[in-house]
Amino acid sequence: MKILVLNGSPRKKGTIATLLKMVAEGAGENSEIEWIDVYDLRMKPCIACMKCRPDGECALPEDDAHIIGKKIKEADGLIIGTPTHWGNMSAQLKLLFDRNVPVFMGEKPNGMPMPKQKGKPAAIITACTTPWPFNFIAAESRGAVRAVKKVLHYGGYKVLGKVVKPGTKKNPEISARLLEKARGLGRRL
């Protein structure tokens, strides 16, 4: 099984990266893992030309978004990590997804969305500075998870689970329990 890890955090050794590594470690027992640091990618922003809908690919000149789109198509599953930014996913991860709409979904003749990655497994990792339970009450972590789930839903992915680390500002340590939860989620992939 080919698993693609999308690290949507600018910190390559931060909370998100650590948790992603645990999920990948769990999945790696039976899988080939490829790691992408999304903040290293060179991508132009989506210009909302909508040409990707009928053409099936982004009309902008080839850049890293096209390359990663091909990797997403070829992968048997995804592990996606993002810090929580204003109750949403990180800007770079959102940009990657915006540029790859036709990788995730097409349109039926009646205009209804058609998933292109139907049945593939996915896992979501997120963290935020807001402490528990306010990270969910204020829709910080919940918002980031919801946003990533929305993309995966339109792609037809089966989300097997999520790992959320709240309160990173005052409590940056990741508990052994949460690390094991991440590793276990990886084994489910």
Q: What pLDDT digit, counting tens, does each position of 97-126 carry?
A: 999 999 999 888 887 889 999 999 999 999
Average pLDDT, the chain: 93
In the structure encoding, which two tokens stand for residue 43, read together?
């991508």
Beta-carbon contacts of 75 under 8 Å, excluding residues fewer than 6 positions away, are: 2, 3, 4, 34, 120
Indicate the pLDDT class of residue 162, thresholds 50, 70 and 90: very high
Domains: count for the chain: 1
Least confident range of 32-36, 65-69, 77-81, 111-115:
111-115
Residue 20's domain is classified under what CATH number? Answer: 3.40.50.360
Residue 131: pLDDT band by 50, 70, 90 thresholds?
low
Q: Which two tokens stand for residue 85?
A: 């930014």
pLDDT of 113 reads 85
In the prediction, which pLDDT does 47 show? 95
Q: Tens of pLDDT along 39-73? A: 999 999 999 998 888 888 899 999 999 999 999 99
Neighbour order of strands in the sheet with 32-37:
32-37, 2-7, 77-83, 121-127, 158-165
| Residue 138 pLDDT grade (very low, low, confident, very high; cuts 50, 70, 90) | low
What pLDDT, on the 0 to 100 scale, is given for residue 28?
85
The range of the structural domain enclosing residue 138 comes to: 2-188
